[in-house]
Structure 1
Amino acid sequence: MSSPPPPPARRYDLDWIRVGAFMLLILYHVGMFYVPWDYHVNSPRPVEALEPIMMLTNPWRMTLLFLVSGCATRFMADSFAVQGKGRLALAGSRTLRLLPPLLFGMFVIVPPQSYYEILEAAQAMGMSDPAHSPVLQDFWLRYATASGHWCDADGCLITPTYNHLWFVAYLLIYSLALALLLLVPGVRAGLQRIADRAFHGWGLVVWPLIYLFAIRWTLAPIFEVNHAIVGDWYNHALSFPAFLFGFLTARSEPARQTFMRLRWPALVMAVISWASWATYAWVYRDAAIPPDSLREVMRLVYAADQWAFIVAILGFGARWLNHGGPVLRYLTVGVFPFYIAHQTVTVVAGHQLAKLGMPLGLEATLLVAITALGCVLTYEVARRIGWFGLLLGVKPQPRARPVQAANRPPLPA
Structure 2
Amino acid sequence: MPFMLLTNPWRLTLLFLVSGAATRFMADKTSVGKLTWARIARLLPPLLFAMFVIVPPQSYYQVVEYIALHPNSGLTVHNFWIRYATASGHWCGTDGECLTTPTWNHMWFVAYLLFYTLVLAVMLLVWKKAGQHIQKAAEWTLKGVGLFAWPILFLGMLRATLYAKYGETHALVGDHYVHAVSFSAFLLGFGLAKSEVLRDRLTAMRWLALALAVAAWAGWSVYVWTYRSDTAVPPPQLKLLMRFVFAADTWCAIVAILGFGAKHLTNKGGPALRYLTLGVFPFYLVHQTLIVVMAYHLAKLGLPQGLEGAILVVATFAGCFATYEIVRRIPGVRILFGLKGQPAGAEAKRPPAFA
Alignment TM-score > 0.5, same fold: yes
Deviation at 1:87, TM superposition (A): 2.2
Query: Is the deviation greater in 392-401 or in 68-77?
Result: 392-401
2:235 aligned partner: 291
CA contact (8 A) 2:328 2:344 kept: no
Q: Distance in 2 between matches of 1:352 and 1:399?
A: 33
1:61 aligned partner: 11
Match status 1:320 vs 2:261: no
Q: Distance in 2 between matches of 1:400 and 1:228?
A: 38
1:74 aligned partner: 24
Q: Distance in 2 between matches of 1:102 and 1:254?
A: 36
Match status 1:106 vs 2:106: no
Question: Given residue 279 of structure 1, which amino acid in structure 2 is its aligned partner?
Answer: V
Residue from 240, 244, 250 that aligns with 1:306: 250
Residue from 83, 89, 92 that aligns with 1:151: 92
> Which consecutive residues of structure 2, in runs of 5 or more, have no partner in the other structure?
347-355
CA contact (8 A) 2:135 2:195 kept: no
CA contact (8 A) 1:201 1:255 kept: no
1:361 aligned partner: 306
Q: Distance in 2 between matches of 1:201 and 1:209?
A: 14
Change (3 A) 1:315 1:366: same
Secondary structure in structure 2 of the residue aligned to 1:362: helix
1:172 aligned partner: 114
Secondary structure in structure 2 of the residue aligned to 1:135: coil
Query: Is the deviation greater in 272-281 or in 227-236?
Result: 272-281
Percent of residue pairs identical: 54
Query: Is the deviation greater in 107-116 or in 372-381?
Result: 372-381
Q: Distance in 1 between matches of 2:42 and 2:330?
A: 15
CA contact (8 A) 2:203 2:260 kept: yes
Question: Given residue 325 of structure 2, which amino acid in structure 1 is its aligned partner?
Answer: E
Q: Distance in 1 between matches of 2:165 and 2:345?
A: 54
Q: Distance in 1 between matches of 2:45 and 2:209?
A: 38
1:52 aligned partner: 2
Change (3 A) 1:262 1:154: farther
1:339 aligned partner: 284
Change (3 A) 1:301 1:359: closer
Q: Where do 1:266-277 residues align within 5 Å?
A: 266-277=209-220
1:389 aligned partner: 334
Specify the structure having the higher radius of gyration (Cα): 1
CA contact (8 A) 1:260 1:316 kept: yes
Match status 1:254 vs 2:212: no
Residue by residue over 1:240-290, the C-alpha shift from the partner in whole angstroms, topping out at 9 and shown as x without a partner, is 000111110011111111011111221221122111111111111112111
Q: Distance in 2 between matches of 1:196 and 1:124?
A: 54
Residue from 97, 105, 108 that aligns with 1:163: 105
Q: Distance in 2 between matches of 1:237 and 1:400?
A: 40
Question: Given residue 263 of structure 1, which amino acid in structure 2 is its aligned partner?
Answer: R
Q: Where do 1:182-193 residues align within 5 Å?
A: 182-188=124-130, 189-193=132-136
Change (3 A) 1:148 1:260: same
Q: Distance in 1 between matches of 2:224 and 2:313?
A: 26
TM-score (norm 1): 0.78
Query: Is the deviation greater in 200-209 or in 105-114?
Result: 200-209
Residue by residue over 1:53-90, the C-alpha shift from the partner in whole angstroms, topping out at 9 and shown as x without a partner, is 1112111111111111111111222233xxxxx32111
Q: Distance in 2 between matches of 1:396 and 1:143?
A: 30
Moved runs in structure 1, 4+ residues, more than 6 A?
398-401
Q: Distance in 2 between matches of 1:375 and 1:167?
A: 18
CA contact (8 A) 1:387 1:395 kept: no
Secondary structure in structure 1 of the residue aligned to 2:172: coil
Deviation at 1:361, TM superposition (A): 3.2
Deviation at 1:154, TM superposition (A): 6.2
Question: Given residue 82 of structure 2, which amino acid in structure 1 is its aligned partner?
Answer: L
Deviation at 1:383, TM superposition (A): 1.6
Give me the CA root mean square deviation. 2.0
Change (3 A) 1:394 1:56: same
Deviation at 1:207, TM superposition (A): 2.3
Change (3 A) 1:399 1:228: closer
CA contact (8 A) 2:329 2:343 kept: no
Match status 1:198 vs 2:141: yes
Change (3 A) 1:231 1:199: same
Match status 1:349 vs 2:298: no
Change (3 A) 1:362 1:190: closer
Q: Distance in 2 between matches of 1:341 and 1:87?
A: 31
Deviation at 1:338, TM superposition (A): 0.8
Q: Distance in 2 between matches of 1:107 and 1:284?
A: 38
Match status 1:223 vs 2:175: no
Residue from 108, 131, 136 that aligns with 2:77: 136
> Which consecutive residues of structure 1, in runs of 5 or more, have no partner in the other structure?
1-50, 81-85, 402-413
Secondary structure in structure 1 of the residue aligned to 2:49: helix
Change (3 A) 1:88 1:398: farther
CA contact (8 A) 2:75 2:91 kept: no
Count of residues in Structure 1 that have an aligned counterpart in Structure 2: 342
Q: Distance in 2 between matches of 1:205 and 1:297?
A: 17
Q: Distance in 2 between matches of 1:242 and 1:185?
A: 19
